[in-house]
Structure 1
Amino acid sequence: MDTEQLAELIGARILRAPGQGPSGRPVTGATLRAQHVRPGDLFAALPGTRVHGADFAATALDAGAVAVLTDQAGVVRADLLDHPEVSAGRVALLVHDDPRAALGPAAAKIYGEPSKQLRILGVTGTSGKTTTTYLLESALAAAGFTTGLVGTVETRIAGERLDSAFTTPEAPDLQALLAVMVEHGVTHVPMEVSSHALALGRVSGTRFTVGGFTNLSQDHLDFHRDLDDYFQAKALLFDGRSEHEVVCTDTDWGRKLVKPGTITVSTTGDASWTATDVEAFPTGEQEFTAHGPGGLSLRMRLRLPGPFNIANALLAIGILHAAEVPTWAIERGLAEVDVPGRMERVALGQDFTAVVDYSHKPGAVSAVLDAARAQAEGRVIVVLGCGGDRDVAKRPLMGEAAARRSGLLIVTDDNPRSEDPADIRAAMLAGAEAVPAAERGEVIERGDRREAIAEAVARASSGDIVVVAGKGHETGQEVAGVVHPFSDREELAAALRRRLGAAHADGGDTEVHRGQGDEEAR
């Protein structure tokens, strides 16, 4: 589209090159990363906490950007104002008081408003977003729809897998992604929607057929001022941008979102959708009956263990029903779901259960270990660390939650990033050791994560459950700015093979089972 039309749509003023500009070049794409600019792009030069995007304008303009969206502080930067393309009047400068807020609608317009051509099912909350979106995708596929998926673990376009850098991509990337999905015949897109994405406008310009809420507990307080600020960010998904709203009311936070017309789900109280007759099996599978509007009743089977997954499944059912997915497809689809790194079992024939899970916040750790305790015949052994450069307040809380629920807690490193790993472990140990000795199991410290996993496996007995928590599906460990290859799944399997001996040395009979879901970019 031409820049004058774009400026009018987003409420920006054009400082130079009115209309399409002297060269007549239309805007054909958008990005906020100068190194990703292609000819014809709008470059969004946004203010940051340390640098301003306009300081990289020369790179963008040299690559062929035909327009720049920025604020007043950006438009006077030398890299932008003194560039030959700008001084010659060949580039349109769009000035907006809040360019980040304008970027989502701008990108949506440039890419043809793809969300209006798709049925997007958005899921937000602290825990459960990943699992819920996998449940949604499976039921949609069972019904015969061509699906996309946007989330923490991966992005998929009609079955083709892409790695995910963020839980929810930046606005231009998201709109381009949705446009590609339209081109590939996708009709339905389950999407994880993080609090960062809502607060930073990444999903501005996106229309949701259904918005769903899982739960809320402490996380991301390195980004949000407090829990209320965190909640207010999540609540933005329910500000009218979602045609239907489905909310789990098992927590006070969920109940705050209920208004006339809200579809509610609950495992503990009255709601539009409820669950009864829950039956758990030793394999970790479970069954329950979902009761819905108009006397609707579905007998559901899940491969995923734990009460939290009943709540995730109920939310998925409510979203799918609101999106007019047939009930037979809901029943079939949810029964077939595995989720990478979420209560993912690694079975090589050992006489105890070994699982990997992404839980990396107090509420998620508590939920996962409660589920493990309910299933374990013996002890629960936990390997757990906390990430660096993130919410420091949750570290003692995670240590406490794990210590109270385990027979053996091995405190180790996660992704220390730029922090001293010993300081992170000390905060976790302080929380664990604050639990009275009579109310907790053994607590030890092993800084090397590989050694911690090996020790957990070595000390497991028949009937125990070993839970390696925190990193889930991740395949790297960031230490001092360097990401080293590291997979909890591979390390756990290697430790099991060493214990079992040469019979399983080639790993040929490794069996992996997947379950529980979590969520945001950490």
Structure 2
Amino acid sequence: MVENSTADTERELRPRTAPHVSLDAVVQAIGAALLESGDVERAHQVTVQGVCLNSRAVQPGDLYAALPGAKRHGSEFAAQALAAGAVGILTDDDAAARLQSEGSLPAGTPIVVTEDPRKATGIAAQFIYGTTPEAPSMFGVTGTNGKTTTTYFLRALLRALGHKTGLIGTIEIVADEEVIPSVLTTPEASQLHGILARMRESGVTAAAMEVSSHAIEFRRIEGLNFKVAGFSNLTQDHLDLHGTMEEYFAAKAKLFTSEFASCGVVLIDSEWGARMAQAARDSGLPVITFATPTGTPTESADWTVANVERSGLGHNFSLTHRDGRTLRAHTGLPGDFNVANAALALTMMVAADLVPLDVLQKALDEHDPLSANVPGRMEVVGHEPASIVDFAHNPDAMVRALEAVRPGTSGRVIVVFGATGERDQAKRPIMGAIAARGADVVIVTDDDPHDEDEQTIRTAVMAGVLEEAAAMGAKAPLVREVFPRAEAIKEAVHLANSEDTILVAGRGHEIWQEVKGVNLPLDDRQELRDALSARSGFGIAHTAVQDHAPQSTENNAAE
């Protein structure tokens, strides 16, 4: 059952019409060597229809990429891949020698050998699926926070300009109007090129994509070139993967090179942003910078956000170039950080130079694209009390979310949150302290514990809450530890009155909670709606909770 599901999902990440490319041409494209075991003539007549690095997902006609993994080498599963229909193996020298010495493969099996099989996998997929920078034009967004929202804004802007659009990210993959199951924040390189081919079939001309540091570090964007790459911010997160902030920055900076982008747009509100802009320039990449009123840029920006004023839950603002050119815009999403996200999307659109500024202004005026609904990102679930679900799952995002809801709250701010298991443990007490400073009521609960003990995680978060609360004295918040998570959400609603704001943070759009290897159904938005409905007189927003395909466990880790 699992294998069929894996293979079925893989099939959805490919064009409906399979390509047919000679293996010889693929070998030449990636600059590899072709070894044959037995039937040499047959090896040179092989036709490849796809590339795959999961033996359980192999489709007939695939080139199986046998790559080294964290625990085992993909070459160990070469026989299974061939049994599923693979027509050849792409791997490294050592694995190829081992396969040949073992004699475990059928005679005549082509083995493609390269020094860097992970890079070669992306280049092979690019060649097989015919990926080019123009079909579709790609807009990539990276940064610790804001990627998802910015990609939704980009997609809405592109649609307002008449494009058929694509979206690749944490929540969903969309080819025009067709939703494709999302496997990772950024799929593997082989899958990405298949998705782009699928988009071309659907007539997609431009697509927005989240580019996580995991995707960059694990070489999932090999063979892609973004028309514009955008950078939002860099704050502490994913140090379990990168080790230090410097290494985290270095991973992000790889995107801002001519290998992966034609132009960069960088928010320089912080030192990290200024460094990213300089790193991009040093690599020879053209860069456009912008800044917002809440930042502290260390250099003069090309574009500046100004005239920010509240408009309902959102803001009106202007984006002005140093030469005086100005765009007027609006975003309906709460928080200064969403002004920054909207400005990033808008500046990336300017950098792409798809249309004159007056045409872009008309699209802003007529379609309000920067108010696009983003599931689980400052999503308003109810009114009186204001009830919001957000994906804030790291210290910077928690600060931003709490700061976003405070100005519109006449009563108390009630926050429900936890921390993800088997991830950056250092941020747990930090987030607890932030919650204590920013909220009037703090309810600590479970996030996705994975295989880690839930109580251990909550204790680490509570340590930060209690230490900060003790230092605050009489201004300390009311603190509760409530679990499971659904009960914590009910407790928040029970404690609230109509003037309060409830912020449920950490999981956003996710509809499954992983506990000890088991996915349990849990949608913060639905739990919050149900709890509000159970209390007489509490209002609920008239927007349906959106259901999405189950997310892989990595979606909790990828930014």
Q: TM-score, normalised by structure 1?
A: 0.93
How far, CA to CA, are the matches of 2:371 and 2:421 in structure 1? 35
CA-CA distance at 1:81 after TM superposition: 4.6
Task: Using the TM superposition, give the Cα deviation of residue 333 of structure 1 relative to its aligned residue in structure 2, in angstroms.
Answer: 4.3
Please give the alpha-carbon distance, in whole angstroms, between the structure 2 residues aligned to 1:175 and 1:402: 41
Give yes or no for contact 1:129–1:519 (8 Å, CA) kept in 2. no
Instruction: Report whether the alignment pairs 1:275 with 2:267.
Output: no
Give the corresponding residue for 2:376: 341
Distance 1:138 1:79, change over 3 A: farther
1:107 is matched with which residue? 125
Deviation track 1:480-512 (CA, whole Å, cap 9, x = no partner) reads 0000111000100010011127x99xx8x7446
Match of 1:357 in 2: 390
User: Is 2:443 the partner of 1:410?
Assistant: yes
Gap change, CA 1:335 and 1:220, over 3 Å in 2: closer
Give the equivalent residue in structure 2 for 1:50. Answer: 71
The answer on whether the counterparts of 1:208 and 1:242 sit within 8 Å (CA) in structure 2 is yes
- Other-structure match for 1:305: 334
Equivalent residue of 2:241, what SS? coil
Does residue 111 of structure 2 align to residue 61 of structure 1?
no
Return 5+ residue gaps in structure 2 as ranges: 1-20, 547-554
Residues 343, 356 of structure 1: 8 Å contact kept = yes
Residue 486 (structure 1) aligns with: 522
Residue identity in the other structure for 1:14? L
Match of 1:433 in 2: 466
CA separation of 1:215 and 1:168: change in aligned 2, threshold 3 A = same
Output aligned runs, 1:52-451, within 5 Å. Answer: 52-77=73-98, 81-85=102-106, 88-89=107-108, 91-240=109-258, 241-259=260-278, 260=281, 261-268=286-293, 269=297, 270-281=300-311, 283-292=312-321, 294-323=323-352, 324-325=354-355, 326-327=359-360, 328-331=362-365, 332-347=367-382, 351-435=384-468, 436-438=471-473, 440-451=476-487
Query: Secondary structure in 1 aligned to 2:404?
Result: helix
Query: Judging changes above 3 Å, is the alpha-carbon distance between structure 1 residues 11 and 238 closer, same or farther for their aligned structure 2 residues?
Result: same
Secondary structure at 2:185's aligned position in 1? Answer: coil
CA distance 1:19–1:314, shift in 2 (3 Å): farther
Contact 1:126 1:519 in 2 (8 A): no
Decide whether aligned partners of structure 1 residues 511 and 29 sit closer, same or farther in structure 2, where only a CA change above 3 A counts: closer
Shift of 1:14: 1.9
Q: How does 1:2-17 map to 2 (within 5 A)?
A: 2-16=22-36
Q: Matched residue of 1:186: which SS?
A: coil
Query: 2 CA distance for matches of 1:29 and 1:433?
Result: 54
Q: CA deviation at 1:277?
A: 1.4
The correspondence of residues 14-33 of structure 1 with structure 2, limited to 5 A, is 14-16=34-36, 21-22=42-43, 24-33=45-54
410-419 or 220-229, which deviates more: 220-229
Cα distance in 2 between the residues matched to 1:513 and 1:336 = 17
Deviation, 1:43, is 0.4
Residues 92 and 116 (structure 1), Cα distance of their counterparts in 2 relative to 1, 3 Å cut: farther
Q: In the aligned structure 2, how far is the partner of 1:445 from the partner of 1:519?
A: 22
Within 1, Cα distance between the matches of 2:102 and 2:70? 21
In the alignment, which residue of structure 2 is the partner of 1:465? 501
Once the 2 structures are TM-superposed, how far is the Cα of residue 244 of structure 1 from its aligned partner? 1.3
- Alpha-carbon contact 2:137-2:205 (below 8 Å) kept: yes
What's the CA shift for 1:15? 2.3
Aligned to 1:500: 536
* Partners of 2:203 and 2:440 in 1: CA distance: 51
| Structure 1 SS opposite 2:263 | strand
* 1:163-190 residue CA offsets vs partner (Å, 9 max, x unmatched): 3121111001000000111111111011
- 1:21 to 1:395, Cα distance in 2 relative to 1, 3 A: farther
Deviations 1:222-261 (A, max 9, x none): 1112111111111111011211110000111110122454
Is the CA contact (8 Å cut-off) linking 1:383 and 1:410 kept in structure 2? yes
Structure 1 residue 305 displacement after superposition = 1.0
SS state at 1:258 partner = helix
Q: Does the 8 A contact of 2:160 with 2:369 survive in 1?
A: no
Matches of 2:398 and 2:544, distance apart in 1: 21
Is the Cα contact below 8 Å between 1:47 and 1:74 reproduced in 2?
no
Say whether the 8 Å CA contact 1:115–1:178 is kept in structure 2.
no
CA–CA distance in 2 between the matches of 1:330 and 1:10?
43
Offset of residue 422 of structure 1 = 0.3
TM-score, normalised to structure 2, is 0.87
Aligned partner letter, 1:495: A
Aligned-CA RMSD value:
2.2
Q: 2:48 is aligned with what amino acid?
A: V
Contact 1:280 1:305 in 2 (8 A): no
SS in 2 for 1:370: helix
Equivalent position SS for 2:47: coil
How big is each residue's C-alpha offset from its partner over 1:185-234, in whole Å with a ceiling of 9 and x where there is no partner?
A: 11101110010111111111001100000000111111112111111111
Q: Is the 8 A contact 2:140 2:210 kept in 1?
A: yes
> CA offset at residue 330 of structure 1?
4.1
Q: Which runs of 5+ in 1 are unaligned?
A: none
Q: Percent identity?
A: 43
Contact 2:239 2:424 in 1 (8 A): yes
Instruction: Call closer, same or farther: CA 1:408–1:64 in 2, change over 3 Å.
Output: same
How much does 1:79 deviate? Answer: 10
| 2:23–2:45 Cα contact (<8 Å) kept | no
